[in-house]
Structure 1
Amino acid sequence: MTRPAGFAVLRAGRGSFLLHRRAALVAALLGVALAVTAVAYLCVGESFVSPAEVVRVLCSAVGGGQPSPDEFVVGTLRMPRLVVGLLAGAAFGVAGSFIQTVARNPLASPDVIGVTQGAGAATVAAMTFNVAAYDTLPYVSILGGLTAASLVYVFAWRKGLHASRFVLIGIGISVALGSLTQLFLTKGDYLVAQQAKVWLTGSLNGRGYDHAAPLASILLVLTPALLWAARAQRTVSFDDDTATALGVRLGRVRLCLTVLGVVLASVATAAAGPVDFVALLAPQIARRLTRTAQIPLLGSALTGALIVTIADLLARKLFSPIELPVGVFTAAVGAPYLMWLIVRTRSRSGGAR
């Protein structure tokens, strides 16, 4: 059997798998860019810490070396916020790749089709009316996201899942859930409602390891499922007739990918708030960089983490001493990109006629 162009064969014992060379190179470069951005993130703040001191603090935390005088600023104030941003960005990127693969539409993402709005509405209701303990908010968020996704899936299903109908119904449900969230805000305590409004914008301010722990735990638990999904994405990318001829149960695979995407987006929303457009941007940027037929999972995760980290760094410093929510910057980039995608999609549809 001939090896496809652009791929390398990696062997581990009796097993072997194909590795896309360009995708591997892009992932490595994204990893380097993310590491540089993370160091810059830890350096910049109200007080500047040199990169050498940042590396010293990190080495001290990992290896128990000599403590640094900047350990409190870097390790206690900035590092937890960075970890939440990295994990949430990666989760949003992977969630977006799953949703776009299932819908076969670059316009589809958890924040466009109502998943993050459902997670946000459930979390805001729990915060505003104090109906759930703080530690259970991530699970409330998952429940809200799954409920919203179920509504979209049910209403969009008509002897199959049509991409345009899936996106349009998702947009309608997201608008309805946004209105419901505003209703919750008007009925609750004023101070809690103000905190919820800031959270709804998508903010990493005040985030700590207690916010990162549930997200990290769920990502760890879902690792085997994510490895399966990376392989399943290839078959779902085929047209229905080809996938069915290969023996793929499309309905079951699409449902599993959708559930994975919804869970990841919901937990990321619980940790960092509904940071809009990361799940929309990251998969498409990664796909254009790798030039692969399907959306690269690792590339999407690294791109999502990079987008959130850069956006939060700008949010902290661009208008200092005023600190903006990270969602403001992601929306400023994502909204024009969404409009460009809509125009491009309509132009292609018109040309096809």
Structure 2
Amino acid sequence: MNSSRIDFGRPTHIAVNRSRSLSVRLDVRSILVCVPLVMGALFVAVVSLATGDFEVTLPQVLQAFTGDAPGLAQTVVMEWRLPRVLSALVFGAALGMSGGIFQSMTRNPLGSPDIIGFNTGAYTGALLVMLTIGGSYLQIAAGALVGGILTAAAVYLLAFRRGAQGFRLIIIGIGISAMLAAFNHWLILQAELEAAMAAALWGAGSLNGITWEQAAPAATVVVLVSLMTLGVSRQMQILEMGDDAARALGVRAEPTRLGLLILGVALTAAVTAVAGPIAFVALAAPQLARRLTRSAGITLIPAALMGAFLLAASDLAAQRMVSPIQLPVGVVTVCIGGIYLVWLLASEARKS
């Protein structure tokens, strides 16, 4: 085992295992950041399970997981609240990881799926299915995935010029997003009142009323895609050094970038299909995690954990701020994200 002196002012790595085919390194500062994030997310989850119109004690929450909670408490915890809490954690992690992928690809803190327009494209696909054929959950999910992929393909092709460069990808993505947003508004205005109201509420990004039937398939997709993404995280980090350096290290730049693009869109679309386009989590989570870990580039696991914590905390606030009315979680994330975006732009302006 090789070890290095621990300096908490910069990222410190401990080499755990090194062979010709495998090199596992633990970033001490990342661990020191990830552990509190996990504990914070679990604390928010427990508070969400225990509090509300029907109060449940902590022992009853624990008993509910073993099936021993008394009467209504079992139903409230396991059937009503747990799907929403798990969805907030899993979807937040998916958005954090998706934002990390696109910010790494573009090498720009503004490179997230909600800024580039992939969220909007997934919403367009789902909206078309909802308002034209009134599709089932699986059809809406398929529409969101197809919409996100087609939007990503359009942005990628329009930005491609001897490679898809980051700044050009962001600018074209913002333009595509604006056009799709206008089209989405037109679709809602043309729809019948009841369908338009449902679509508009869903478009705000909401976990209200989510059930196991909706949460379980989306969570399964997110977990599978996340594992695939972690499998190519090393190639993603190599790409941050530039295409020439990546090729010198044996990474094919454009195929790898295209694969990452598809994985990032799949994560975003899986969330959008169930909860609608939840804004700003994908933008803020990777950068907040990066500043806490002080890493040179985007690291996906801290970004995912930060996303899970942010969305779970935002959803708890959405439920409790104006109780008994439950706000869409997207309303809270937009408020938080707007403040973060102003700070980010001001910070970047000071650097330049």
Matched, 1:288 2:291: yes
Residue correspondence of structure 1 range 100-111 to structure 2 within 5 A: 100-111=103-114
Shift of 1:134: 2.7
Q: 2:15 aligns with which of 9, 31, 35?
A: 9
Shift of 1:167: 1.2
3-state SS, counterpart of residue 232 of structure 2? helix
Matched, 1:119 2:125: no
Aligned twin of 2:265: 262
Aligned twin of 2:200: 197
Provide the rounded CA distance (Å) in 1 between the counterparts of 2:238 and 2:92.
Answer: 26
Matched, 1:340 2:321: no
Provide the rounded CA distance (Å) in 2 between the counterparts of 1:145 and 1:100.
Answer: 17
Matched, 1:140 2:138: no
Identity of counterpart residues, as a percentage?
37
Provide the rounded CA distance (Å) in 1 between the counterparts of 2:46 and 2:294.
Answer: 29
Provide the rounded CA distance (Å) in 1 between the counterparts of 2:201 and 2:309.
Answer: 22
Matched, 1:67 2:69: yes
CA-to-aligned-CA distance 1:203-238 (integer Å, 9 cap, x gap): 110111122122222134335422322222220121
3-state SS, counterpart of residue 122 of structure 2? helix
Aligned twin of 1:95: 98
Provide closer, same or farther for how the CA distance between residues 223 and 204 of structure 1 changes in structure 2, counting only shifts above 3 A.
Answer: closer
Provide the rounded CA distance (Å) in 2 between the counterparts of 1:252 and 1:3.
Answer: 35
Shift of 1:32: 1.1
Q: TM-score, normalised by structure 1?
A: 0.92
3-state SS, counterpart of residue 270 of structure 1? helix
| Runs (5+) with no aligned partner, structure 1 | none
Matched, 1:307 2:306: no
| Alignment check: 8 A CA contact 1:122 1:140 kept | yes
Shift of 1:272: 1.2
Shift of 1:56: 1.9
Aligned twin of 1:30: 37
Shift of 1:254: 1.2
Which residue type is aligned with residue 128 of structure 1? L
Aligned twin of 2:327: 324
Aligned twin of 1:50: 57
Q: TM-score, normalised by structure 2?
A: 0.92
3-state SS, counterpart of residue 323 of structure 1? coil
Matched, 1:161 2:164: yes
Which residue type is aligned with residue 26 of structure 1? V
| Alignment check: 8 A CA contact 1:88 1:271 kept | no
Runs of 4+ in 1 over 4 A off after TM superposition: 1-5, 12-16
3-state SS, counterpart of residue 222 of structure 1? helix
Matched, 1:227 2:227: no
Which residue type is aligned with residue 7 of structure 1? H
Provide the rounded CA distance (Å) in 2 between the counterparts of 1:244 and 1:17.
Answer: 22
Provide closer, same or farther for how the CA distance between residues 239 and 16 of structure 1 changes in structure 2, counting only shifts above 3 A.
Answer: closer
Provide the rounded CA distance (Å) in 2 between the counterparts of 1:226 and 1:179.
Answer: 32
Matched, 1:20 2:27: yes
CA-to-aligned-CA distance 1:30-73 (integer Å, 9 cap, x gap): 11111111001111111221222212212x14xxxx33331111
Provide the rounded CA distance (Å) in 2 between the counterparts of 1:225 and 1:140.
Answer: 22
Shift of 1:131: 5.5
CA-to-aligned-CA distance 1:103-134 (integer Å, 9 cap, x gap): 10000101111101000011111111125333
Provide the rounded CA distance (Å) in 2 between the counterparts of 1:300 and 1:108.
Answer: 14
Matched, 1:238 2:241: yes
| Runs (5+) with no aligned partner, structure 2 | 6-11
